[in-house]
Structure 1
Amino acid sequence: MTDMPALLSINNYHYRRGGSDGVYLDHAELMESLGWRGAFFSMRHPENLPTPWSRYFIDELEFGGDYSLPQKISMATKSVYSFEAQRKLRMLLRDFEPDVAHLHGIYHHHSPSILPVLTEAGIPVVMTAHDLKIACPNYKMLNRTGVCERCRTGSVLNVIRNRCVRDSLSASVIVAAESGLQRSMQTYRKHLTKVVAPSRFFVDKFVEWGWPREQFVHIPNYVDAARFVPDYEPGDYFLYFGRLAPEKGIATLMRAARLAGVKLKIAGSGPMAAELTELQGQLRGDTEFLGFQTGADLHALVRGARAVVLPSEWYENAPLSVLESFALGKPMIGARIGGIPETIDEAENGWTFASKDIAGLAQLLSTVAAMPDAQVARAGRAARETVEKRFNAEGYADAMLSLYSSLGVKTSSRGLVRQERNT
């Protein structure tokens, strides 16, 4: 057996669909650069990146499409417990023996049914908690009424009563059934060796929901600052970029920008696009909608801003948008909710305000707009330094290797190899 350590990375999607999918791919690439052998277990999808491991991937399972009733019933069953995922994972494990399995997003596609398979094989199981799913059935602790933690001390039937999943009765019934089953079987708690939480807020929140603190380790996300070219010169507009969804607080930001009389640019797409456009017509503020932006175009928008604003109204974890803005040399104006305040050093690399506080945000926007350019530029330089010193690949890799080592991986003269386990 080779002495090169082996990592099995598991995620629903094998392409950069969202932030957590990017972390899944970047994590695997980083481990490979450190000498690890890698394999992937994911779902078939037309946009997947090419990989020889795709022959083990589960069949595509997308919700919200035009499916027949039998297909919908099959999908609902798989989202609760997938025998297909178990079977294909066992096939993969016959051809690849990992020292660690690192999970990202698995629910509703692979389902937690794969966890006992890994345990039976004697493989340590690590999951990065990109969201709150292992506690909250709908993974956001959010529904149409706002932040919600009713299931912490109550029944998962609350999911159905409040239609917590996409405000849909059928979707909420399926998720309530899945969550009820996993709670009764204690699937996550029994089979997850360790849970990585990118924010301290998430660790504390899981503990509030009854999880043992020792099952968690706080490892912040990172960005490779070398891939971002900063511009510290302050622009004349404020920028929001991301999903146009109710929990993001964009309506609050638009009202605050109108009150402050500042220029605002919004880059993104999502379910609130039409509603926000209508709101702009009512407010008549200096707000410009730019649609979905990515890559060099998005970087240029960030570099041209005075500051980036993240006005969230839900429990954000550790948004990569903050780190990317910092890497591009821009300070952040962020809501004091979830993990956002953990990255912002007040009046150093950004500023914070109480979530949902329109007047407070308006005052902050006015203050930063009137601030001398040299002072804003200093905040931008401090933001870049924050990423370089606190949220870098080296620190992330060291923390992950330390975690893996604690699970039975040791350092040898030729890198990391699995310790022999007693059988």
Structure 2
Amino acid sequence: MHVAILTNFCLPRGGGEKVAIESARGLAEAGLQVSLVHGVEGPADPMLDHPGIRRVGLGLADVWDRPAWRGALDGIWNRQAARRLRAALADLRPDCLHLHNWSRSLSPAVLPVLAGSRLPVAITLHDYFLVCPNGVYYRFDRAEPCGLDPLGARCLAAPCDPQSHAHKAVRVARSVALRAALARGFRDRPVDLVHVSEASRARLAAMLPSGAYRHHRIDNPVRVERRAPADPARGDAVVFVGRFTREKGADLVAQAAREAGLTALFVGDGPLAGDLAGMPGVEVLGWREPAAVEALVRARARAVVAPSRWLETGPLTVYEALACGIPAIASNRAGAAERIVPGGTGFVVPPEAHLLARVFHDLADDALVRRMGLAAHAHYWAVPTTLAAHAQASARLYAAMIARSAPAAATATAPSFQRSAV
């Protein structure tokens, strides 16, 4: 079986690309032929160095690096992306297609190409771009999750964009183009959507037209090898890993840690980096390789914290903490909260500083932290979301998609290119 995985970058610029790259590696190790098609050229993640992976760059620009007017146009509909992807797929001749991230280079213009191929198509929803213009279904003007009908009259009028009214207009235009491309291209067959948590699956399924999609749950892969559990009672900090933004709750961690008398250790980067670095009791580190992050967490963390204000589909850091034997603290708005046993392997709390501080106070109890760490390790490894488990689940989905599409492919009158044998 040959699967083409589509994403923006060949380096992990965020959780979505990280999953796409690791998924490619896991599938190749499972014996599948994998082509990773990425929009933007650049140095590749070492995870892609495998004989079963072919990497194909489309030579596109990151829309964030373009002049504002050009980035807006390419973000809404990048004709060059469509042309180059069509040519790449004609050369690759895969059996199925899996789209991960598209907003930074590929644009909705690639959807007619995927539909025209007559190949089975899966889309992993790492965010809410399929329904929401800003992608996170979050009101940045109110610092709270959105409750409006996407692209309804109140949505269009809401000043919810994190940057400006002009950016909101561009993103609305992109959402309209996306919906139209999906409706036209896949009107005769449902698209297979992959959700990474039950919470995001329930939310998104309710906002999408019934019958147009098949919904599946496949956990994101976790790149943590099974080792002896860490001892979080030896740690001296609560640890936040990721992008430092208000919607991810980075400021809440710093405030709550100060109230609880704990050190807050931040690994990553983002717009709040400068503010955090100037706060007492805060240590700010830049991005680190996964192995270095794991080493830091094992050595320093009493708990790993992900107090998202937005309805986050993941995040991966919760799973990685549990796999190491570190208690995890997640927002009750995060999809990953469903993997925490409250009071047993960590805590699930609303994203409010005073509530987070109460939990941080409990972390002063060495016996409690050690017990929760051992329970977290045992609970995670009882049903681990490893790279191999992720690849097996993905391969089963692809096989089912290909089997369902066989009759349709046989009767298609003018496919853009032919499929190779499975």
TM-score band (shorter)?
0.7 to 0.9
Q: For 1:202, which of 200, 203, 212 is the aligned residue?
A: 200
Q: Distance in 2 between matches of 1:388 and 1:403?
A: 23
Select between 84-93 and 220-229 the one with higher mean Cα deviation.
Answer: 220-229
Select between 45-54 and 328-337 the one with higher mean Cα deviation.
Answer: 45-54
Q: Which segments of 5 or more consecutive residues in structure 1 lack a partner in the other structure? A: 411-416
Does the CA-based 8 Å contact 1:132-1:140 persist in structure 2?
Answer: yes
Read off the aligned partner of 2:200 and give its amino acid letter. F
Q: Distance in 2 between matches of 1:204 and 1:274?
A: 37
Q: Distance in 2 between matches of 1:239 and 1:141?
A: 26
Match of 1:113 in 2: 109
Q: For 1:385, which of 378, 397, 400 is the aligned residue?
A: 378
Q: Distance in 2 between matches of 1:154 and 1:94?
A: 35
Q: Distance in 2 between matches of 1:196 and 1:108?
A: 20
Deviation readout 1:186-222 (Å, 9 max, x if unpaired) = 4487476201000111111112323438621111112
Match of 2:414 in 1: none
Read off the aligned partner of 1:262 and give its amino acid letter. L
**Is residue 2:94 matched to residue 1:95?**
no
Match of 2:61 in 1: 60
Change (3 A) 1:393 1:55: closer
Q: For 1:403, which of 372, 397, 402 is the aligned residue?
A: 397
Read off the aligned partner of 1:223 and give its amino acid letter. V
The TM-score normalised by the length of structure 1 is 0.85
**Correspondence 1:190-339 to 2 at 5 A:** 190=187, 193-212=191-210, 215-226=214-225, 230-234=229-233, 235-278=235-278, 280=279, 284=280, 286-304=281-299, 305-339=301-335
C-alpha RMSD of the superposition: 2.8
Does the CA-based 8 Å contact 1:40-1:53 persist in structure 2?
Answer: yes
Does the CA-based 8 Å contact 1:220-1:318 persist in structure 2?
Answer: no
**Is residue 2:134 matched to residue 1:146?**
no
Identity %: 26
Match of 1:344 in 2: 340
Q: Distance in 1 between matches of 2:95 and 2:34?
A: 10
Deviation readout 1:83-138 (Å, 9 max, x if unpaired) = 21221122122222211101100124211222222222210010111111101111
Change (3 A) 1:394 1:388: farther
Which SS does the other structure have where 2:127 is aligned? Answer: coil
Q: Distance in 1 between matches of 2:219 and 2:196?
A: 4
**Correspondence 1:351-370 to 2 at 5 A:** 351-356=347-352, 358-369=353-364
TM-aligned CA deviation for residue 315 of structure 1: 1.0
Q: Distance in 2 between matches of 1:312 and 1:193?
A: 29
Match of 1:123 in 2: 119
Change (3 A) 1:247 1:232: same
Deviation readout 1:329-383 (Å, 9 max, x if unpaired) = 2111222113132110112211121222x222211111121x243x422321222
TM-aligned CA deviation for residue 403 of structure 1: 1.6
Does the CA-based 8 Å contact 2:22-2:221 persist in structure 1?
Answer: no
Does the CA-based 8 Å contact 2:304-2:317 persist in structure 1?
Answer: no
Read off the aligned partner of 1:146 and give its amino acid letter. A
State how many pairs are aligned.
399
TM-aligned CA deviation for residue 418 of structure 1: 7.5
Read off the aligned partner of 2:257 and give its amino acid letter. A
Change (3 A) 1:262 1:135: same
Q: For 2:159, which of 159, 162, 168 is the aligned residue?
A: 162
Select between 301-310 and 397-406 the one with higher mean Cα deviation.
Answer: 397-406
TM-aligned CA deviation for residue 272 of structure 1: 1.0
**Is residue 2:100 matched to residue 1:104?**
yes
Change (3 A) 1:192 1:25: farther
Read off the aligned partner of 1:388 and give its amino acid letter. W
Change (3 A) 1:146 1:99: same
Change (3 A) 1:150 1:362: closer
Q: Distance in 2 between matches of 1:303 and 1:334?
A: 18
Read off the aligned partner of 2:261 and give its amino acid letter. G
Q: Distance in 2 between matches of 1:192 and 1:76?
A: 29
Does the CA-based 8 Å contact 1:100-1:124 persist in structure 2?
Answer: yes
Q: Distance in 1 between matches of 2:316 and 2:92?
A: 32
Which SS does the other structure have where 1:7 is aligned? Answer: strand
Change (3 A) 1:153 1:396: closer
Q: Distance in 2 between matches of 1:54 and 1:394?
A: 21
Q: Distance in 1 between matches of 2:343 and 2:10?
A: 39
Q: Distance in 2 between matches of 1:56 and 1:239?
A: 35
Change (3 A) 1:75 1:156: farther
Q: Which segments of 5 or more consecutive residues in structure 2 lack a partner in the other structure? A: 412-422
Q: Distance in 1 between matches of 2:238 and 2:69?
A: 46
Read off the aligned partner of 1:382 and give its amino acid letter. A
Does the CA-based 8 Å contact 2:10-2:42 persist in structure 1?
Answer: no
Change (3 A) 1:121 1:293: closer
Q: Distance in 1 between matches of 2:359 and 2:56?
A: 53
Which SS does the other structure have where 1:215 is aligned? Answer: strand
Match of 2:417 in 1: none
**Correspondence 1:2-41 to 2 at 5 A:** 5-41=1-37
